[in-house]
Structure 1
Amino acid sequence: MMNPWEWLLVLAAVALVLARWLPPRPRRPVTVGAVAVVAVAGAVLGVLGMRWQMVPVLAGAAVALPFALAPLLRQRTRRAPWWLALPGSVTGLALVAAGAAAAWALPTPVFPEPTGRFAVGTSVLELTDPARPETATAAPEDRRTVVAQFWYPARQSPPGSRRAPYLGRTERESRVVSGALAEYAGLPGMLLDGLPRARTHAVYDAAAAGDGERFPVVLFSPGLGGVRAQNTAWAEELASHGYVVVGLDHPYDSAAVVLSDGRTVRTEVSATGDAVEDERRAAAWTAVRAADLSFVRARLERVDGGAIAGPLAGRLDTGRVAVAGHSIGGGAALQAARQDPGFAAVIDLDGYPHDPGPQPFRQPVLALTQAIGPDTDPDYLPALTRVLALSSATSYRLTVPGAAHLTFTDAPLYLPPVPSLVGSPDRTEGLRITAAASLVFLDSTLRHHADGPGSTGGPADPATALSAYGTLVVHPGSGA
């Protein structure tokens, strides 16, 4: 989405291109006004930080400027011959249109307003597991460290409180992470330069909401190379309804993890092109992520008890913790639940299970998937179905119509609305469905009859409500 100054620049540039074709009387005020607005808007954007998409707009205005100004600088109000002005006007309009189209296709993300009754706070913790060596380095003293971001129900912050940047605690961190995400995807960094400019709805370290009630928790693992904030819209929506969402950065897997000592840990994950070797690697990465999730779940006790300082002391219901993930993070969530009975439920957002030794487990699962066919991955649904059948609880697989793999992340807010890339051309529809289905499931599994703080009022049996969002397959569970 373009900001008001960008809109002014585009409209003024169009007016400048068209000024040459106007009758003499309106030509002068339109030209002078357009030049003035282009100059002011360009200067303001230069101070605020101009996005690259506005450069073609300025170039288009520059091409049109001589044709618009020439009649004003002569004694006789004559325009350049049409055969000379027409190519310049066409070129100018093409440049302006290209810049505006690029700004529309690759906007600065605007996050949907959370619909729950709570405001949203956020905080970041760096957690080190003294019992686990860091297998990605050769240093024997290195211990596994993860960065966890909490989104939680908060009291309303004072007007004017600064909202948290997207992807980082500071704009600098956001720029490091967005650049790493672009590099990981093989894209020029400038294509994602709108991400560090974005502001979420959360306020850092805001006071927790309510008068002492404890909130259920959802731990989240991102996709391969993904980062803790990649599902911010989903996390904020859940937090506004009374859940604490904890997104994890997995160092040496996430595209970039900025640590508290200033170091930036880059991803070391890579594919070989050999299916057998790539599956072996995926299984290893999934196992590390599953261990990260269990470690953070155990650390929640210290956060709740105040041993780790923060705004959530005494506010976490550590007996009601779900585990979730997108893509390989969804596979890690399934594996973590199988290995750790402390998790009460699982949400798998289009994640392939990579657990080499799946075993029966007791937690219910909600698996949201895109439509899977031979052109997608013919092994995906059979593998997922086998794992869901191992749960002793009722589980649900919801196929979301028109979804793509990135539909279940924030990507539709800032990537071109191409259905094969992000699903529905509506930038927020996939986010809304993902959050709404997650809330129905969480209310039924963590709150049972949906009577907890911030509840959406969903039914204890979510099948009917989930069916409204796509094609639902119910797995009754091996214990049913």
Structure 2
Amino acid sequence: MSIGELVVVLGSVALVVSRWLPSAARRPTAVAAVVVVLAGVAVGLPEIRWPVMLVLAADLLAAAVWLLRRRRWPAVSASVACLALIAAGGGAAWALPVPEFPEPSGPAAVGTSVMQWADPARDQRPVVVQLWYPAQAVSPGAPRAQYLGRTRREAKTVAAAEAAYLGAPAFVLDGPTRAHSHAVVDATPAAGRFPVVLFSPGLGGVRTQNTAWAEDLASRGYLVAGVDHPYDSAAVILADGRTLRTRVTADGDRAAWVAARAADLRFVLTRLGGVGPADTTRAAATGHSIGGAAAMRAAEQDPRFTAVVNLDGGPDPDQGPLRQPVLALTHELKDRADTDYVALLSKILGGGSATSYRLTVPGSAHLTFTDAPLFLPPVPSLAGSLGRTASVRMTVETTAAFLDTTLRGSTADLPAALSRHGELHTMPAG
């Protein structure tokens, strides 16, 4: 909840209560409350979020209560209704905030660019990629990147598509469309070449779903490439303005989607070979949920990938052993399905030819490893119980430690760094 929204809520409560104060204090309190509400609205301009509209509706009803001077019980009922509206609006503003992205922890500024490539081997399949990379120093006042899209309009389209895919009304994701991250669009890259981290989002997910994680890695010296998978991501908006809607369903051909995503990752890695700051000789395939499965499949098929990070993704049953080291983060295990998924994952990792790691994070849920805790209600079954920014920090610290070891040759104690965040299982090379 923003400061302006909090001011509106508090002023509105005071306005409702003023009707029931002693006569000498009633009118001055009401006038002061109205001034406070108007000040809060002014802070929130030029746009007012829908939860605040509920609170302002309560204010209009509170004004009507003043007309019920001698009709006590109707006034009591109206006042209770006002307080209920204020509670609903204030609660929604708190539970569904405009996300505030954590400040990246690395020494470098962060730039971001969006690219679009067509794969000639697959009927010119269009793949939209967003890069986050270390940048030269930027002005503190430089405009920051819009979240979820190149523009606010694009962000609204993507958010509405994501909400529809999840079966939720579009207003639930209104907050993220108003957010800006820390990256500066098309900032000049810092000198040097940087290890590459390719990222595949969850089922129906979009390239920006792990922006906080991507920006932090970029500030530490990595080039992160988030991939929109056409006809899989909820909405992929092309450079010419066309929108490619998702065709995936939860009970569809999962193996085909994993294969298509893996091919996208291999194609993007090839194209990044022509991007100046990208050092594709040090590249990790990463992903969340089904994107984690796609990362493992891409690494199985392509030896150019040096390492793999799987963020709570169940692999395909026919996934083969990998030659690359793997870090698999999993949510807290609660039922038989979780146990079966982890057993398959452990079997695959144990059969690999490099040492891999499986880390089960207490208090985590499936969406803990994304940006979702920053803007969804803090419900443990939905976003985990680690907290809004602590979830991002955990994902960054574990994956950065692993990538520093596998892509940069760090000699730090990786098992110790990982085990601080959960139950660690090391899979020795088979």
TM range (shorter): over 0.9
Does the alignment pair 1:170 with 2:151? yes
| Residue number among 101, 107, 111 corresponding to 2:97 in the alignment | 107
Specify whether residues 412 and 467 from structure 1 end up closer, same or farther in structure 2 by C-alpha distance, changes over 3 A only: same
Q: Name the TM-score, length of structure 1 as normaliser.
A: 0.86
Q: Is the 8 A contact 2:162 2:204 kept in 1?
A: yes
Q: Matched residue of 1:220: which SS?
A: strand
Task: Provide TM-score, normalisation by structure 2.
Answer: 0.96
For structure 1, which segment, 243-252 or 150-159, has the greater mean C-alpha deviation from structure 2 after superposition? 150-159
1:300 aligns with 2:255: no
In structure 1, the residue corresponding to 2:121 is in which secondary structure?
A: strand
1:445 CA drift (Å):
0.8
Aligned to 1:138: none
Q: Is the 8 A contact 1:397 1:472 kept in 2?
A: yes
Distance 1:40 1:249 in 2: 41
Alpha-carbon distance in 1 for matches of 2:112, 2:67:
52
User: How far 1:67 sits from its partner (Å)?
Assistant: 3.4
Query: What is the identity, as a one-letter code, of the residue corresponding to 1:232?
Result: T
Q: Distance in 2 between matches of 1:239 and 1:417?
A: 27
CA distance in 1, matches of 2:128, 2:71: 64
Residue 351 of structure 1, CA deviation: 0.5
In structure 1, the residue matched to 2:218 is 239
Picking from 199, 205, 220, the partner of 2:180 is 199
Equivalent pair of 1:221/1:332 in contact (CA under 8 Å): yes
User: Would the aligned equivalents of 2:317 and 2:344 in 1 still touch at CA under 8 Å?
Assistant: no
User: Mapping of 1:291-440 within 5 angstroms?
Assistant: 291-304=263-276, 315-354=277-316, 356=318, 358-424=319-385, 426-440=387-401
The answer to whether the Cα contact below 8 Å between 2:321 and 2:349 also exists between their aligned partners in 1 is: no
Match of 1:216 among 195, 207, 218: 195
SS class of match (1:200): coil
**Secondary structure in structure 2 of the residue aligned to 1:446:** helix
2:377 is aligned with what amino acid?
P
Aligned to 1:311: none
Letter of the 2:101 counterpart? F
Q: Is the 2:96–2:175 Cα contact (8 Å) retained in structure 1?
A: yes
Q: Give the residue type in structure 1 aligned to 2:111.
A: G
Pairwise CA distance, 1:66: 3.1
1:390-414, Cα deviation, whole Å (9 max, x unpaired): 3211100000001100000111111
8 Å CA contact retained: 2:322, 2:349: no
C-alpha displacement at 1:302, in angstroms?
1.1
Q: Is contact 1:283-1:355 (8 Å) kept?
A: no
Q: Residue 56 of structure 1 is aligned with which of 54, 57, 65?
A: 54
* Distance apart, 1:63 and its partner CA: 1.6
Verify: 1:89 aligned to 2:79, yes or no: yes
Greater Rg by CA: 1
Q: Alpha-carbon deviation of 1:84? A: 4.2
SS of structure 1 residue aligned to 2:181: strand
**Does 1:470 find its partner at 2:419?**
no
Unaligned runs of 5+ in 1: 71-78, 134-142, 273-277, 305-314, 451-458
Describe the SS at the equivalent of 1:473. strand
In the alignment, the residues of structure 1 paired with residue 299 and residue 233 of structure 2 have an alpha-carbon distance, to the nearest angstrom, of 21
Question: CA offsets, 1:277-301, max 9 Å, x none?
Answer: x4xx111100110111011111111
- 321 and 265 in structure 1: CA distance in 2 versus 1, 3 angstrom threshold: same
Q: Which moved more, 1:184-193 or 1:5-14?
A: 5-14
Q: CA deviation at 1:150?
A: 0.4
* Deviation of the 1:105 alpha carbon: 1.2
Contact 1:218 1:245 in 2 (8 A): yes
Consecutive unaligned residues in structure 2, runs of 5 or more: none
Secondary structure class of the residue paired with 2:145: strand
1:140 maps to none
CA contact (8 A) 1:331 1:355 kept: no
**For residue 34 of structure 1, what is the aligned residue in structure 2?**
33
CA distance in structure 2 between the aligned counterparts of 1:359 and 1:420, rounded to whole angstroms: 31
Structure 1 stretch 366-375 or stretch 81-90: which is displaced more?
Answer: 81-90
2: CA distance, partners of 1:270 / 1:449: 41
The more displaced of 335-344 and 6-15 is 6-15
Q: Aligned residues, how many?
A: 430
Per-residue displacement from partner, 1:357-406 (whole Å, max 9, x unpaired)?
A: x3333110000001224354342112111211232111000000011000
Change (3 A) 1:125 1:431: same
The answer on 1:131 being equivalent to 2:131 is: no
**8 Å contact from structure 1 (residues 16, 68) kept in 2:** no
Alignment check: 8 A CA contact 1:371 1:402 kept = yes
Q: Distance in 2 between the 1:54 and 1:349 partners?
A: 36
User: What's the offset of the Cα at 1:33?
Assistant: 2.1
Partners of 2:317 and 2:134 in 1: CA distance: 34
Select which of 118, 128, 131 maps to 1:147: 128
Secondary structure (helix, strand or coil) at the match of 1:260 reads coil
Deviation at 1:38, TM superposition (A): 2.9
Letter in 2 for 1:398: L
> Hey, what's the Cα distance between the residues in 2 that align with 1:322 and 1:271?
27
Deviation by residue 1:131-189 (Cα, 9 ceiling, x = unmatched): 222xxxxxxxxx21110000111123113211111110100110000000000000011
Q: Structure 2 CA distance, aligned partners of 1:263 and 1:155? A: 33
- Name whichever structure is richer in helix by fraction: 2
User: What amino acid maps onto 1:145 in structure 2?
Assistant: P
Which residue is 1:20 aligned to? Answer: 19
Say if 2:238 is the partner of 1:259.
yes
Moved more, 151-160 or 36-45: 36-45
1:366 counterpart SS class: strand
Alpha-carbon separation, structure 1, partners of 2:96 and 2:399: 27
Of the three residues 142, 161, 166, the one matched with 1:161 is 142
Paired amino acid for 2:365: A
Amino acid paired to 1:234: W
